[in-house]
Amino acid sequence: MGVLFIAGLYTGLVTSPPDYQQGDAMRIMYVHVPASWMALFVYAFLALMSLFSLVWRHPLAEVLAVSAAPIGALFTALSLVTGSLWGKPMWGAFWVWDGRLTSVLVLLFLYGGYWALYKAYSRPDQGIRAASLLALVGMINLPVIKGSVVWWNTLHQPASLTKFTAPSIHPTMLAPLLLMAGAYFFYFISVLILRTRTELYQRKLLVWGGII
């Protein structure tokens, strides 16, 4: 993961050409865009785990979901902050209340709400059920985020990567983008594993504590 991260940073900062319109500050895109992708991906992961824990009651699904939530919140916050930093020199505003920015903010609140609901119950098994339901209903936000740049002609750049025709982005820019995405992904996996392990240990401790 470290290798990918360094490779991504290097290509992003050094080798990719500065955008003809926006100059060097555009490079923050390499931090911002993959972070946004991860924010959405982790939420989808969270919702999927929530579904598993509700329907099939798989205990690992619960732990994975709870461990993934803070990471997703981190990515969302990163996306928002880097987006703001990018926005100021480029378009003159830290923040606009347009569709995409608002719905990503909503995503952050959804992560926060998930965590808050989980912690609000004195028994974690109750908390996880309520929080999982919330995560599932919150899925509605994902299409809103996706469609928000289409539905509102606003400040945010429209999608250039997910069109089914050839992506309209230059390969030298594509590579660092994908590298950073890969780096974030591996960061997510490693932190997820760490947190899951911790969570499992915590739960084991609770059980042992109960017996002793």
Please give the residue ranges that form the binding site for other proteins (CB under 8 A).
Answer: 54, 99, 102-103, 106, 109-110, 112-113, 116-117, 120-123, 125-127, 129-130, 133-134, 136-141, 144, 151-152, 206-207, 210
Angle between helices 99-120 and 141-151 (to 10 degrees): 170
Q: How far is the CB of 207 from other proteins (least distance, A)?
A: 8
Q: CB within 8 A of 110, min separation 6: which ones?
A: 43, 134, 135, 138, 141
Q: How far is the CB of 145 from other proteins (least distance, A)?
A: 10
**Residue 64 or 104: which CB sits closer to other proteins?**
104
**Residue 45 or 111: which CB sits closer to other proteins?**
111
Q: How far is the CB of 40 from other proteins (least distance, A)?
A: 15
Q: How far is the CB of 144 from other proteins (least distance, A)?
A: 5
**Residue 67 or 76: which CB sits closer to other proteins?**
76
- What does residue 99 show for φ and ψ, rounded to 5 degrees? -60, -50
**Residue 172 or 202: which CB sits closer to other proteins?**
202
Q: Can you say whether the dihedral through the CA atoms of 39, 15, 7, 167 is positive or negative?
A: positive
Q: Can you say whether the dihedral through the CA atoms of 116, 74, 132, 150 is positive or negative?
A: positive
Q: Can you say whether the dihedral through the CA atoms of 3, 26, 150, 100 is positive or negative?
A: positive
